Amino acid sequence: MPVNAAPGELSRLYFCPDFYTAPTACLRHPDEPVLNPTFPHRLVIASRESRLAMWQAQHVRDRLLALYPQCDVQILGMTTRGDQILDRTLSKVGGKGLFVKELEVSMEQGRADLAVHSLKDVPMELPPGFALAAVLEREDPRDAFVSNDYDSLASLPDGSVVGTSSLRRQALIAARFPALVIKPLRGNLDTRLGKLDRGEYAAIILAAAGLKRLGVPQRIRDFIAPELSLPAPGQGAMAIEIHSARADLQQWLVPLNHLASAQAVIAERTVSKVFGGSCQIPLAAFATIAGDAMRLRAMVATPDGRRVATADVIGSAAEPEALGALVALRLNEQDAESILAVCKAEAAALDDRVE
């Protein structure tokens, strides 16, 4: 597939065509070095400066050094607007792009060659000139219940305050536990855990992947099964973004690609893209693969959890976009568009009150 594919084609969601033409190349062992004199002598990875983001960048650096030991790989840490604005939810201040814009600027200016992201923070449609070059093997995609005093959502007393700024999690909690009080929770992982430890919340809901990557899985009191809290599109996956003109670099990143993880997140992100991929939408999508088959489950809901549309479809793992489009169609057959219209109207009304 050409680099400059039209919007809506696979490369707009995921750039690397080798997943379909040479999947074995995508699964090269990470410790198998590749010695080639044409590989750049120096690479710079752009990353947010949070502890989790730097862990992810360091992980990619280690993988690259194992493959290309002759290359000098540096990390350029920076603070994004999404890191700076902590008193409002993302849906009110610009959405997921706030976490990636500064990193993309560093690539445009030639200060960095690639950027490492948590895929769930990456907008569904990348700006012109940028593409995802690799999706690494996915970590645990589940939501995690974190509390110092309680073992699960079901054990919380009525009126307990639960922290999350995810509309998806808010809708799922409100539907099952309407007596709980849900309040916004912003900041990096350490900041969120600190707010819990200071007693601002009885419990908080976080992505299990981040807690595991930072070596604090003991903070997890309960893993919330996907059947009860369907994950966000791309949750638990790391992605590498590059400038589209860097076809040479994309080729060298192929060994970092993980076929099954990429296929799954393509399907999930396709569902989100159909509905606009906005932070104002409580939307979940989660794909699992068994052999050649992919199961894709998705949900859209109002923030109060009272109106919900769900879909559960099995299709070909080799055609993730087609399956994602089919699941979106199934959601629309349950009036998903009107549910999302309610979400957008509520968000607009809240913005008017704030202003």
φ/ψ of 196, rounded to 5, equals -65, -45
Q: Which amino acid is at 299?
A: M
Q: Which two tokens stand for residue 242?
A: 């590059």
Q: List beta partners, residue 145.
A: 205, 222
Tokens 């979940």 found at:
284
Tokens 């590749």 found at:
34
121 tagged catalytic? yes
Q: If 0-12 CB within 10 Å is exposed, 13-18 middle and 19+ buried, where does residue 252 land?
A: buried
**C-beta separation of 289 from 318 below 8 A:** no
Angle CA(25)–CA(241)–CA(244) in degrees, nearest 5?
A: 85
Residue 242's closest CA among 107, 119, 110, 124? 107
Catalytic site residue from 18, 83, 113, 121: 121
Using the Cα atoms of residue 54, residue 55, residue 57 and residue 62 in order, give the sign of their dihedral.
positive
Residues 6+ apart with CB under 8 A from 80: 48, 98, 99, 100, 101, 102, 103
**Alpha-carbon gap, residue 140 to 151, rounded angstroms:** 19
Catalytic residue set? 121
